[in-house]
Amino acid sequence: MADTPSVEEVEKGDDYYHVRFRDPDEFDTIRTPDWAENAAGSVVEGSEVRTGHEKEGGDDDWEIQSVLVPVDEVDGEDEAKDRAQEIAEKIES
């Protein structure tokens, strides 16, 4: 994975803030890997990380596409954005 990305967009859903770091159209496959669950959950319980495989990329070309932060675990969009950034930094380090 590359350097820690910057947040592009935050959308509030019924259950999660969807904090997007990269456009999903950049990827040919998007997954929610089990290995990222511990890192995400250690920052905000119930968070999920979605990673994408770059189009035309090699086996190791997976990047964080977005982080889902539970609405009930944060106090608004700004905190969701901050916690998602913290999760991304933890995974990228």
Residue pair 57/22 in contact by the 8 Å Cβ criterion: no
* The pLDDT of residue 3: 64
CB atoms within 10 A of CB 31: 14
* CA separation for the pair 91, 93 (Å, rounded): 6
Residue 54 reports pLDDT greater than 90:
no
For residue 47, what are its two tokens?
């968070």
- Residue 70 buriedness (CB in 10 A; 0-12 / 13-18 / 19+): middle
Q: What mean pLDDT is reported for the chain?
A: 91
Please indicate whether residue 82 or residue 60 has the higher confidence score (pLDDT): 82
When pLDDT is averaged across residues 16-33 and rounded to a whole number, the result is 94
* The pLDDT of residue 82: 97
pTM: 0.89
